[in-house]
Structure 1
Amino acid sequence: MKLIISIVLFVSTFFNAFDVTDDVVAAIKSGKSSELVKFFDEKLSVKILNQEDLLSKSQAEANLKFFYEKHAVKNFVVSHSNILNANVQFITGTLETSAGKYRVSVLIRRNLISQFRIENENE
């Protein structure tokens, strides 16, 4: 019986990871910081272009909102998505905006974004 419960919990955690990844990708594509902030941890490492810092959830949202105001999102294409284990996922992709293309990388731990990076595509 314990084995069955363990398997069910493992499988549900595994499928839950896919849902979070899909939701994070959809939030990035939306170009709305209010959608993406739902997945932010209370503190997270954020790099947007040349500014990198450990920020609170609200500070990270403000920085992302400022970026989105200057760079209207046209599309986001995932180039790599990996579930390292039940608690850690990684997404990389290309964000196409009105101001150019950017490389985005997202580290998700326990279904919350702990690292979010937007970098020039040629860096």
Structure 2
Amino acid sequence: GKATVSRAGIKFKNLLYGSKRAIEEQWYTKLKNKSVSIVYDPRHLDRIYIPNDDGLDYETCILLEPSEQYKTDFLEDIVFHQQLRNELEEEERSKQVQLTINTDTMMEQIIKTAKEKKKNTLYKPTSKK
């Protein structure tokens, strides 16, 4: 697969990983948003592996704390949870937009009603005498 190196860590399937080599070589500051090839086991996503250039060895990357909730999950479970979360977030955004539209409509109606009341109110000037 492909993972992205950023300041937050090595990101794969929206999970964050870290490695000793990445810290030593300062990947997080130098390789911003660079893609790296990785190898992983879809049944055990608590670790991913970055093959060395010689092809004989690899760097082990472990799951970082922000992603530890998925430590024992399979790849399919993680993808399902992420899709579900995205759908719920989209639904919530839609509700917020609708609520804003409804609020704006109600405010316009209140202003219109107030203007009509003011227009219909008879103003009778009184003399000072």
TM-score above 0.5, yes or no: no
Higher strand fraction: Structure 1 or Structure 2? 1
Higher helix fraction: Structure 1 or Structure 2? 2
The TM-score with structure 1 as length reference comes to 0.28
Query: Which is greater in Rg?
Result: 2
- Structure with the bigger RCO (C-alpha within 8 Å, sep 6+) is 1
